[in-house]
Structures are given as C-alpha cells and as structure tokens.
Amino acid sequence: MKAKIFKPSKNAMQSGRGKTVEWLLEYELETPRLPEPVMGWTSAGDTLNQVRMKFPNKEAAVAFAEANGMEYSVDEDHARKIVPRTYLDNFKYRPYSEDN
C-alpha cells in the first residue's frame, strides 16, 4: 500500500488558519476510477482512498506508516510568510519605482 503524508493547505473559504495544524495520511489510489455502467457514477474498486487519518505531527504519521509496512511519500510543509502590517500602511506614500 502506498500512502501520502502531508499538511493540508488553508481552504479558500477560510479566513483563518484553522484545520491546518494536523498532518494527514491518505492512501493512494490502487485502481483507476471508472464510471459505473448502470448509473454512470464514478467509482473505484478500493475503498481505502476514502480513509484520512490525522496526526499531531509529521513524525507520528511517518512512525505509523513504517510500523504498518507502508510505502509513503512526505510532502513537506510550506511555511507561510507573514508580513505584519497596520491599517496606516494602506495610506502610506510610496514613491514609484521600476521594481513595483
């Protein structure tokens, strides 16, 4: 079984950074998704792709994968660069330069 370990990004519908603290382990697809002949809905032969396990940190997720003998890949966390600004910064005069 192959698994992917990653830290989820912020949802576009969120203004805060909630639900981005935990690391997730998801199983990779083993069989391709195909439309069912009767209803036409997309389905897959395995149901493991519906499983998402949450871990408090990357090391716990890697330890779980190694303890269960899984192949895994880790997508590293992309640290967000926060530039502190005040309301006054919206109205500051900045002379025009070719860099902007």
**CATH code of the domain in which 52 resides:** 3.30.160.190
Average pLDDT for 15-36 = 84
Question: How many residues are present in the chain?
Answer: 100
- Whether the CB-CB separation of 23 and 58 falls below 8 Å is answered with yes
Domain tally, the chain: 1
Whether 17 maps to a domain, the answer reads yes
pLDDT at 64 over 80: yes
Whether 60 maps to a domain, the answer reads yes
Average pLDDT for 96-100 = 68
Whether 88 maps to a domain, the answer reads no
Cα maximum dimension of the chain: 65
pLDDT at 18 over 80: no
pLDDT band at 32 (very low <50, low <70, confident <90, very high): confident
| pTM confidence score | 0.69
Whether 97 maps to a domain, the answer reads no
Whether 95 maps to a domain, the answer reads no
| Domain of 47, in residue numbers | 2-77
pLDDT band at 100 (very low <50, low <70, confident <90, very high): low
